[in-house]
């Protein structure tokens, strides 16, 4: 029965969960440094992470527990369209290789901790700095909530009900993040990624073997999509190609604008570390492709669910022994802890540096910054917990969709300044506002769908609304920059740049 506790799976789950909990508290002593004495130490791990630590950390907060749940769920629901995550991760790595080392050098030379620090240092605009900071914090909150949702799905699959297990996991996460800062998720990411790799590699070998091979898997999925009709199927329909491509491109440009991914970049010890990671990170794309196939395998296994998010847990329960199912559920739950911790740290860094220090206590000490960030990280996680305890799950999903749109609008302010000084802060701020407002209104009026449509020359085009908002953002920023230059030829504000 679904509501009966699987004690074997639960015992294995608890063993590994307690293991990473202990590791999280011990992390404060790892790579020695005064965690509470400086925001660099608590929020960036002392900026000393090498190639392998950075690889696990960035991979750990880029490929999250919700990724393991949501990507197969989307593939299960719509077929080939759900694979958009693969090209977007392929697109993002050349971008990381080309842009992130430059951003790291600017941050390292000037002691910047956040994207908003970089923006303020480049343009000298408090308004633009605050816009980037608030966007990052707001976009991150529902993302953390999704990690807790992913954890909740696995806990429910073992027969545990109610909110108490999630609250307990939240308390553990909050305490060791408060104690150890970024060192905790960096250390735990080793365990998480190894466990996820084991689970996925076993799944893509064992599951098809039990189902009659990959031929049977694709045949079952094809028959199921044919019965559904519509745009579902193993191959993209012509009408899906443009939305698929724009969604992949927009997602790629947004991925490393999030505070948690940038935190991993800023915590690296060198620009060369980031370049080498951009070369190594595609290994995660291979893993993601294998994870996505679980959505097809569910059809061959005759898995029936009320919510697509239950596909992976139900597949594991049906085809794995209890002990390995518990191991798999632990891997997914730990996969929630790592990104949730980094996300809360990234948001706390933004609040501390670009809200508290800028507007409340400009003379705050380094230790004071670390103390404020610790408290802010607790508040952020508490807000995420409130999302899933007191609001419908759909709210977190909808806000995460809007969050991706919003964070993409910080791209011009953060990235353009690394290559050109032509844009004015006034123009970038107006462009940001235009992208946020138009994108939010369009998504809202379409029922919070990620796609928008336009008719040009008698043809109908469907595209990712976030990318459309970014195009509008850049056009408005360029026009506003020209107008600002005509009104005031001499740029205002600081132009310090490494």
- Across the range 373-379, mean pLDDT stands at 91
pLDDT for the residue 433: 97
The pLDDT > 90 percentage for the chain reads 34
Q: How many Å apart are CA 193 and CA 191, to the nearest integer?
A: 6
Summarised one tens digit per residue, pLDDT across range 391-423 is 776 677 777 778 889 999 999 999 999 999 899
Quick check: helix, strand or coil at residue 454?
strand
Handedness of CA 166, 172, 338, 436 (dihedral sign): positive
Q: Above 60 in pLDDT, residue 73?
A: yes
In Å, how far are 229, 230, 293, 418 from 226, measured between CA atoms? Answer: 5, 8, 18, 49
pLDDT for the residue 345: 92
Q: Above 50 in pLDDT, residue 252?
A: yes
pLDDT for the residue 110: 93
Higher-confidence position of 193 and 127:
127
- Across the range 438-444, mean pLDDT stands at 92
CA 432 centroid distance within chain: 21
Q: Above 90 in pLDDT, residue 495?
A: no
451, containing H or E segment: strand 451-456
In angstroms, what is the C-alpha Rg of the chain? 22
pLDDT for the residue 3: 60
pLDDT category of residue 30 using cuts at 50, 70 and 90: low
pLDDT for the residue 439: 94
pLDDT for the residue 31: 57
pLDDT for the residue 152: 81
The pLDDT > 70 percentage for the chain reads 95
Dihedral through CA 339, CA 342, CA 346, CA 347, nearest 10? 60
Q: Above 90 in pLDDT, residue 19?
A: no
**Contact between residue 4 and residue 160 where contact means Cβ atoms under 8 Å apart:** no
Q: How many Å apart are CA 56 and CA 19, to the nearest integer?
A: 18
Q: How many Å apart are CA 123 and CA 131, to the nearest integer?
A: 13
Summarised one tens digit per residue, pLDDT across range 320-355 is 888 998 999 888 888 888 888 889 999 999 999 999
Among the listed residues 468, 466, 462, 467, the one whose alpha carbon sits nearest the alpha carbon of residue 231: 462
Average of per-residue pLDDT values in the chain: 86
pLDDT for the residue 497: 41
Quick check: helix, strand or coil at residue 268?
strand
pLDDT category of residue 491 using cuts at 50, 70 and 90: low
Q: What is the DSSP string of 364-396?
A: --HHHHHHHHHHHHHHHHHHHHHHHHHS-HHHH
**Contact between residue 449 and residue 130 where contact means Cβ atoms under 8 Å apart:** no
pLDDT category of residue 496 using cuts at 50, 70 and 90: very low
- Across the range 92-97, mean pLDDT stands at 90
Quick check: helix, strand or coil at residue 72?
helix
Higher-confidence position of 487 and 437:
437
CATH topology of domain 7-406: Sodium/glucose cotransporter (1.20.1730)
pLDDT for the residue 57: 83
pLDDT for the residue 32: 52
- Across the range 188-196, mean pLDDT stands at 83
263, containing H or E segment: helix 259-266
pLDDT category of residue 266 using cuts at 50, 70 and 90: very high
- Across the range 134-153, mean pLDDT stands at 86
Among the listed residues 483, 493, 487, the one whose alpha carbon sits nearest the alpha carbon of residue 431: 483
Query: pTM (2 decimals)?
Result: 0.89
Residue ranges covered by each domain of the chain: 7-406
pLDDT for the residue 250: 92
Q: Above 70 in pLDDT, residue 33?
A: no
pLDDT for the residue 280: 85
pLDDT for the residue 430: 97
Q: Which tokens sit at 417?
A: 């300044």
pLDDT for the residue 112: 94
Q: Which residues contact 289 (CB under 8 A, 6 or more apart)?
A: 83, 86
Quick check: helix, strand or coil at residue 160?
coil
pLDDT for the residue 353: 93
pLDDT for the residue 399: 77
46, burial (CB in 10 Å: exposed 0-12, middle 13-18, buried 19+): buried
pLDDT for the residue 121: 94
* Exposure string for 15-31, b = 16+ CB within 10 A, e = fewer: ebbeebbebbeebbebb
pLDDT for the residue 310: 86
Quick check: helix, strand or coil at residue 158?
coil
Q: How many Å apart are CA 335 and CA 188, to the nearest integer?
A: 9
pLDDT category of residue 490 using cuts at 50, 70 and 90: low
């Amino acid at each position: 029965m679904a509501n009966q506790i699987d004690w074997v799976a639960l015992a294995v789950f608890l063993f590994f969960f307690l293991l990473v909990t202990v590791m999280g508290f011990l992390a404060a002593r790892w790579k020695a440094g005064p965690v509470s004495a400086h925001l660099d130490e608590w929020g960036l791990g002392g900026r000393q992470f090498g190639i392998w630590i950075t690889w696990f950390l960035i991979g750990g907060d880029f490929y999250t527990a919700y990724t393991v749940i949501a990507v197969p769920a989307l593939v299960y629901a719509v077929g080939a369209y759900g694979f958009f995550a693969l090209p977007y991760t392929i697109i993002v790595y050349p971008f990381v290789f080309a842009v992130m080392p430059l951003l790291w050098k600017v941050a390292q030379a000037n002691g910047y901790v956040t994207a908003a620090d970089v923006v303020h240092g480049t343009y000298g605009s408090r308004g633009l700095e605050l816009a980037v900071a608030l966007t990052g914090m707001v976009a991150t909150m529902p993302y953390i909530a999704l990690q807790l949702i992913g954890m909740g799905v696995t806990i429910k699959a073992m027969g545990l009900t109610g909110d108490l297990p999630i609250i307990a996991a939240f308390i553990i996460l909050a305490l060791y993040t408060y104690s150890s800062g970024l060192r905790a998720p960096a250390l735990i990411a080793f365990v998480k990624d190894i466990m996820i790799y084991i689970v996925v590699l076993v799944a893509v070998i064992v599951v098809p073997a039990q189902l009659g091979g990959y031929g049977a898997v694709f045949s079952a999925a094809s028959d199921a999509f044919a019965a559904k009709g519509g745009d579902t199927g193993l191959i993209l329909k012509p009408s899906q190609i443009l939305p698929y491509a724009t969604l992949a491109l927009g997602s790629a440009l947004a991925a490393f604008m999030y505070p948690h991914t940038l935190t991993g970049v800023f915590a690296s010890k060198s620009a060369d570390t980031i370049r080498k990671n951009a070369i190594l990170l595609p290994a995660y794309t291979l893993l993601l492709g294998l994870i996505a196939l679980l959505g097809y395998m569910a059809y061959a296994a005759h898995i029936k669910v009320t919510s697509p998010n239950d596909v992976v847990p139900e597949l594991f329960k049906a085809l794995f022994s209890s002990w390995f199912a518990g191991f798999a559920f632990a891997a997914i739950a730990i996969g929630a802890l790592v990104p949730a911790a980094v996300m809360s740290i990234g948001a706390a860094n933004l609040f501390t540096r670009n809200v508290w220090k800028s507007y409340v206590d400009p003379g705050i000490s380094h230790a004071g910054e670390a103390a404020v960030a610790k408290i802010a990280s607790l508040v952020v996680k508490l807000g995420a917990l409130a999302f899933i305890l007191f609001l419908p799950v759909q709210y977190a999903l909808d806000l995460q969709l809007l969050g991706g749109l919003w964070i993409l609008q910080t791209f011009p302010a953060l990235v353009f300044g690394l290559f050109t000084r032509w844009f004015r802060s006034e123009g970038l701020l107006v462009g940001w506002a235009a992208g946020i407002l138009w994108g939010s209104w369009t998504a809202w009026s379409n029922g919070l769908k990620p796609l928008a449509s336009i008719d040009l020359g008698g043809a109908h085009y469907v595209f990712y609304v976030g990318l459309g908002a970014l195009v509008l953002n850049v056009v408005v920023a360029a026009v506003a920059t020209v107008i600002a230059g005509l009104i005031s030829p001499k740029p205002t504000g600081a132009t310090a740049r490494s």
